[in-house]
Amino acid sequence: MSKFGKKQNEASPQINTSSLPDIIFILLFFFMMVVVMRTEEIQLEIKVPQATELQKLKKKHLVSYVYIGVPKAKLRAKWGNAPRIQLNDVFKSFTEIGPWVENERKKLPEKLRPYMTVSLRVDRDIKMGIVTDVKLELRKANALKINYSATKRSKFGE
């Protein structure tokens, strides 16, 4: 290595930029690790509520997401204005929640199955009726650890 280094110094008296790609690559890998690749496209308008007593969802692989909201503007012609449930990539009905939970649970190793969490990402303007129905389905499927997804808020009226 040192041999090559010497050679380079002789070749150019300027600042050595040969390690720049490495640095950028390290940055790149860092981002690739940190960032969550969300493969599913959310087809609903979801603005989660704000709250103060938040807990982080640490183990991402244990979390499954249920989205509830009104379809996005461009999809309304097809799907209408009523709130819908999205699991993974497609709109689903209540009855499909149970099998979906089973399926998600099967993806996890046996040991970790009791720790499975279902994160409810629900739009803030949705009425509780549909949320209650989803909660009932989750209880039927014995997925009891849930999380109401929210963003940070510091005080009232913000």
Distance, CA of 133 to chain centre = 22
- Binding status of residue 63 toward another protein by CB under 8 A: yes
- Binding status of residue 149 toward another protein by CB under 8 A: yes
- Binding status of residue 62 toward another protein by CB under 8 A: no
Cα dihedral value 62, 82, 42, 112, nearest 10: 10
- Binding status of residue 15 toward another protein by CB under 8 A: no
Nearer to another protein, 90 or 136 (CB): 136
- Binding status of residue 152 toward another protein by CB under 8 A: yes
- Binding status of residue 17 toward another protein by CB under 8 A: yes
Cα separation, 1 vs 70, in Å, equals: 60
- Given 14, 19, 95, 154, the residue binding another protein (CB under 8 A): 19
Nearer to another protein, 20 or 112 (CB): 20
Nearer to another protein, 85 or 138 (CB): 138
- Please tell me what DSSP assigns to residue 41: P
Instruction: Let me know if 75 is exposed, middle or buried by CB neighbors in 10 A (0-12, 13-18, 19+).
Output: middle
Residues 62 and 146: beta-carbon distance below 8 Å: no
Sign, CA dihedral 28-47-138-88, equals: negative
Question: What is the binding site for another protein (CB under 8 A)?
Answer: 1, 4, 7-8, 11, 17-22, 24-25, 27-28, 31-32, 34-38, 48-49, 51-57, 60, 63, 117, 119-120, 122-129, 131-132, 135-136, 138-140, 142-152, 156
